[in-house]
């Protein structure tokens, strides 16, 4: 697979969704929302994470089974293809503020010239999708395997190009905090496994609260993912986390999705507000609100905006 051929491999179906191919594999895009809590009972979609759904002759292949079958030399192009279809499919929803959260592995682009080409591709995809570069979040994977000075240069270049940056699988160690202090990403996605474990005991919960506070002090927002129960969603408010993702809120859907019908976008009255700022209380929060409930089996289902008539 050669670099100039990448956009020739994009396929648009009759339903409008974008997909691509790699050898015998059809690669489709699934989107999963990340929600922002606007009030204790009101959530709105903040971004859509792009996830690959691979199949061969109608047989699905999990990402863990598909990627080992990709030739190493083709990995940069495959990641670029997937990033492109994720951005294009997120744009099909025509939401005014929602971002596209896409994977970006800096180790695949060691050459500065190749990296600039990739930035141009992301800009082209975002322009075609109707998204400003600032509504594309490049989620850096494999950060722990990259030397900090080199990783810092990559993050700086991403920000200079106008994109936002998130770090994935962040932990609670001193090394993780030091990386955030140096890199200053816009978002950090906490490792879902240890977050779930720590939510079940008071000491772990206290540590999570410290981590979230430390990230906030460095100007970084926390995303808690893999939330599977509503009580976990409610605990996010006690942690000071407003960005959440998981099956308790919404499962991934293959594009074209039904998210606009299920979770209508809240219309903010101030058209000139920054696209990632939550609505002011009087604009987005219903007239009657209740304090957040404590963790327990009985929960109030969150309200996802207001359905349009």
Which stretch of DSSP H or E encloses residue 168?
strand 164-170
Summarised one tens digit per residue, pLDDT across range 151-206 is: 899 899 999 999 999 998 666 555 577 888 889 999 999 877 777 788 888 888 89
> What global pTM score does this model have?
0.84
**Residues 6 or more apart whose Cβ sits within 8 Å of residue 157:** 115, 119
Rounded to whole angstroms, how far apart are CA atoms 279 and 45? 12
Query: Are 259 and 93 in contact, with CB atoms under 8 Å apart?
Result: yes
pLDDT higher for 115 or 274?
A: 115
Cβ count near 148 (within 10 Å):
13
Predicted local distance difference test score (pLDDT) of residue 289 = 35
124 alpha carbon, distance to own chain's centre = 19
Q: Is the pLDDT higher at 231 or at 51?
A: 51
> How are beta strands 99-104 and 42-56 bridged, if at all?
parallel
59-63, 265-269, 294-298, range with greatest mean pLDDT: 59-63
Domains with residue ranges and CATH for the chain: 17-257 (3.20.20.450)
Confidence category of residue 147, pLDDT binned at 50, 70, 90: confident
């Amino acid at each position: 697979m050669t670099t100039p051929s990448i956009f020739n491999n994009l396929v648009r179906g009759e339903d409008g969704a974008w997909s691509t191919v790699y050898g015998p594999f059809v690669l489709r895009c699934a989107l999963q929302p990340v929600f922002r809590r606007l009030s204790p009972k009101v959530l709105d979609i903040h971004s859509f994470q792009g996830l690959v759904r691979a199949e061969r002759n109608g047989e699905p292949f999990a990402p863990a089974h598909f990627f080992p079958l990709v030739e190493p030399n083709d990995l940069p192009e495959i990641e670029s293809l997937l990033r492109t279809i994720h951005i294009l499919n997120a744009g099909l929803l025509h939401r005014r503020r929602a971002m596209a959260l896409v994977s970006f592995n800096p180790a695949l682009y060691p050459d500065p010239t190749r990296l600039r080409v990739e930035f141009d591709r992301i800009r082209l995809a975002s322009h075609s999708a109707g998204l400003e570069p600032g509504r594309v979040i490049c989620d850096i994977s494999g950060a722990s395997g990259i030397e900090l000075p080199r990783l810092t240069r990559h993050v700086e270049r991403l920000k200079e190009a106008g994109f936002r940056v998130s770090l994935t699988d962040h932990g609670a160690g001193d090394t993780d905090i030091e990386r955030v202090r140096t890199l200053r990403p816009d978002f950090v996605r906490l490792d879902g496994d240890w977050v779930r474990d720590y939510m079940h005991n008071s000491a772990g919960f206290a540590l999570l609260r410290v981590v979230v506070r430390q990230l906030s002090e460095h100007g970084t927002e926390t995303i808690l993912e893999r939330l599977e129960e509503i009580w976990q969603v409610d605990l996010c408010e006690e942690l000071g986390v407003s960005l959440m993702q998981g099956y308790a809120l919404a499962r991934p859907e293959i594009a074209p999705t039904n998210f606009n019908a299920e979770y209508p976008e809240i219309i903010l009255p101030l058209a000139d507000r920054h696209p990632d700022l939550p609505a002011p209380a009087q604009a987005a929060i219903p007239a009657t609100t209740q304090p957040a409930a404590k963790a327990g089996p009985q929960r109030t289902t969150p309200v996802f905006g207001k359905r349009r008539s």
